[in-house]
Amino acid sequence: MQDYCELWGVEGPVLLDDGAYAKVLGIRGVPTNVLVDSTGTVRAVGLGNPDELHAAVDELLLDGAG
Protein backbone atom coordinates (compact mmCIF):
# COMPACT_ATOMS: atom_id res chain seq x y z
CA MET A 1 0.00 0.00 0.00
CA GLN A 2 2.83 2.39 0.81
CA ASP A 3 4.25 2.04 -2.71
CA TYR A 4 0.83 2.82 -4.22
CA CYS A 5 0.43 5.93 -2.05
CA GLU A 6 3.91 7.16 -2.89
CA LEU A 7 3.34 6.56 -6.61
CA TRP A 8 0.08 8.53 -6.65
CA GLY A 9 1.02 11.14 -4.04
CA VAL A 10 -1.65 10.03 -1.58
CA GLU A 11 -1.14 11.54 1.87
CA GLY A 12 -3.08 11.12 5.08
CA PRO A 13 -4.98 8.18 6.51
CA VAL A 14 -5.54 5.21 4.22
CA LEU A 15 -7.92 2.50 5.38
CA LEU A 16 -8.08 -0.98 3.91
CA ASP A 17 -11.32 -2.91 3.61
CA ASP A 18 -11.70 -6.67 3.84
CA GLY A 19 -14.40 -6.43 1.17
CA ALA A 20 -17.47 -6.00 3.37
CA TYR A 21 -17.69 -2.20 3.00
CA ALA A 22 -16.96 -2.37 -0.73
CA LYS A 23 -19.87 -4.77 -1.11
CA VAL A 24 -22.21 -2.33 0.67
CA LEU A 25 -21.09 0.45 -1.71
CA GLY A 26 -21.39 -1.79 -4.78
CA ILE A 27 -17.68 -1.58 -5.57
CA ARG A 28 -16.40 -4.39 -7.74
CA GLY A 29 -12.90 -3.29 -8.70
CA VAL A 30 -9.86 -2.55 -6.62
CA PRO A 31 -8.23 -0.30 -5.82
CA THR A 32 -11.09 2.16 -5.51
CA ASN A 33 -10.91 5.47 -3.69
CA VAL A 34 -13.72 6.24 -1.26
CA LEU A 35 -13.67 9.78 0.12
CA VAL A 36 -15.32 9.96 3.55
CA ASP A 37 -15.85 13.24 5.40
CA SER A 38 -15.31 13.83 9.12
CA THR A 39 -18.90 12.80 9.89
CA GLY A 40 -18.47 9.41 8.20
CA THR A 41 -20.52 10.35 5.14
CA VAL A 42 -19.25 8.94 1.83
CA ARG A 43 -18.72 12.01 -0.36
CA ALA A 44 -17.21 10.41 -3.47
CA VAL A 45 -16.41 6.98 -4.88
CA GLY A 46 -14.00 6.26 -7.70
CA LEU A 47 -11.82 9.28 -8.36
CA GLY A 48 -9.65 7.32 -10.76
CA ASN A 49 -6.65 9.60 -10.93
CA PRO A 50 -4.74 11.81 -8.51
CA ASP A 51 -6.07 15.07 -10.01
CA GLU A 52 -9.69 13.96 -9.47
CA LEU A 53 -8.90 12.83 -5.94
CA HIS A 54 -7.13 16.08 -5.03
CA ALA A 55 -9.95 18.17 -6.53
CA ALA A 56 -12.55 16.25 -4.52
CA VAL A 57 -10.55 16.66 -1.30
CA ASP A 58 -10.09 20.38 -1.98
CA GLU A 59 -13.84 20.77 -2.57
CA LEU A 60 -14.62 18.88 0.62
CA LEU A 61 -12.29 21.11 2.61
CA LEU A 62 -13.81 24.25 1.10
CA ASP A 63 -17.28 23.00 2.04
CA GLY A 64 -16.09 22.82 5.63
CA ALA A 65 -17.19 19.20 5.96
CA GLY A 66 -13.65 17.84 5.99
What integer pLDDT is reported at residue 44 of this predicted model? 83
Q: How many C-beta neighbours within 10 Å does residue 50 have? A: 13
Question: What does pLDDT average to in each consecutive run of 10 residues of the chain (66 residues)?
Answer: 81 83 82 82 80 84 70
What integer pLDDT is reported at residue 47 of this predicted model? 66
Q: pTM of the full predicted structure?
A: 0.58
Give the span between the Cα atoms of 37 and 65, in whole angstroms: 6
What integer pLDDT is reported at residue 5 of this predicted model? 81
Give the span between the Cα atoms of 7 and 29, in whole angstroms: 19
Long-range Cβ contact pairs of 8-13 (< 8 A, separation 24 or more): 8/50, 8/53, 9/50, 10/50, 10/53
Residue from 7, 13, 17 nearest 57 by CA:
13
